[in-house]
Structures are given as C-alpha cells and as structure tokens.
Amino acid sequence: MKGCLKYSLNCRDVPAATSPLLRSLGLSDYRVKKFWKIAKLLTGFSINIYRYEKAYFYIVLEVRKEPIFVYQNVYTDFIDCQEVHCIEAPKGNKLYIYIEGSVEGSFIKINVIFLLKELLRHKPKCYDSIMNLILGSLRGNIHAILDNIACLFKVISAYRHIVSIVLPETPVSMKDLLQVSPIIRALISKMKLLPSS
C-alpha cells in the first residue's frame, strides 16, 4: 500500500498476496505451497460484516491464477500498467480480498487493499488501528477490536456524507455497530460466554 502511494499508483484491484511477495517475507517454498493450499480452501469463504434490512456486506477471499504485474517492486494491476512500465511475470497464484455486498438490489464489490491504501493516504493516524482491528476480527481477538474501534468511528464520522450513501444505517457507536455487524456481535457473544479467569 505504501508503494502505491509512493509511486502514485491507483492500485484499484491489487492482490493481497502473491508467491514472490510471500517469499520476500521470508517464507520457504514449503510454507508458500502450504499458504496457497489453505487459501484455495478458503476461496469463496465470507465473513458477514454488515447487515441491515436488505443491505448486506461480506469480506470475501478469492485465489486466482493470473499474470503478476510489478512496478518498482510494487504488485499492481493491469490498469496501472497502462500508465507506467510494469514487468509482467508468468501466471501465478494471487490472493484477493474484497468487500462484496448489495444495497437495494445493487451489487457492490471493492478491493480491500485499495480501501486500506486510501485510508493510509487520507487518515494515516488511523491506518495502524484499523489494521489491528481487522487482524483482531480475523483472529477472534475481541480485546484488539475494542482497543482499536475508536478509529473506525472517526473514519465513518469524517466520511459520513459518503458512507451514508452506501450504508442505510451508519454505525457511530459500539451499540450501533453491534446492531449491524454480525461478526462483531458473534465475537462479543463468544467473549461473554468465556469463563472469567
């Protein structure tokens, strides 16, 4: 994401992971193969993050085998490569993460990496908190969610005029979020069921 900003790339539909990226993070060939085996099993897996009446949104994972586009060591997409000179590597596994949903019958799909890049551009102070919030949600860590949720509400409040166009019920408090987010509700319920130590 930082590379997208550094080189003024739009990064509208970029992968969250590629084999070369995983290797650059120090994963062995064995671990890379294991990563893709698990990722392929999770393709189509979805987490319901928002539901209000007939509006709903999910986080969805997709693995696709496609050419890999690189510009200055930044993994980018075909559209950006129309503007800059990219290196095109042979087809390889690419993991994409999307938010998909429907509002009044209109389907919406947006790349999560693109959203995070825009967050980093416009609200850099909230970027780390939102990343911790996402990781906490994926790991079922309610403490990470509660510690970092304030920045989510700051972002929603700052862009309420845009968010309210998409979301018919815009959460501005934890109480609101519990009403519209099945995943947060489930994690809170799970925590309440745990015996206190």
| DSSP string across 113-126 | HHHHHHHHHH-HHH
Please indicate, yes or no, whether residues 24 and 65 belong to a single structural domain of this protein.
Answer: yes
Same domain, 105 and 47: yes
Q: Is residue 117 part of a domain?
A: no
154 and 95 both lie in a single domain: no
Q: How many domains does the chain have?
A: 2
Tell me, yes or no, whether 118 lies in a domain.
Answer: no
Q: Which residue has the tokens 């129309």?
A: 82
By three-state DSSP, how is residue 39 classified?
A: helix
Could you tell me if 177 and 127 lie in one domain?
A: yes
Distance CA 75, CA 67 (A): 11
Question: pLDDT tens string for the chain (197 positions)?
Answer: 788 999 999 999 999 999 988 998 888 999 999 999 999 998 888 889 899 988 999 999 999 999 999 999 899 999 999 999 999 988 899 999 999 999 888 899 999 999 999 989 888 888 888 888 777 776 777 778 778 888 888 888 888 888 888 888 888 888 888 899 998 888 777 765 444 44
pTM, whole model, 2 decimals? 0.85
Structural domain including 18 reads 1-112
Identify the burial level of 113 via C-beta atoms within 10 angstroms of its C-beta, where 0-12 means exposed, 13-18 middle and 19 or more buried. buried
Residue 178 has a CB neighbour count (10 Å cut-off) of: 14
State which of 112, 138, 161 marks the end of a domain: 112
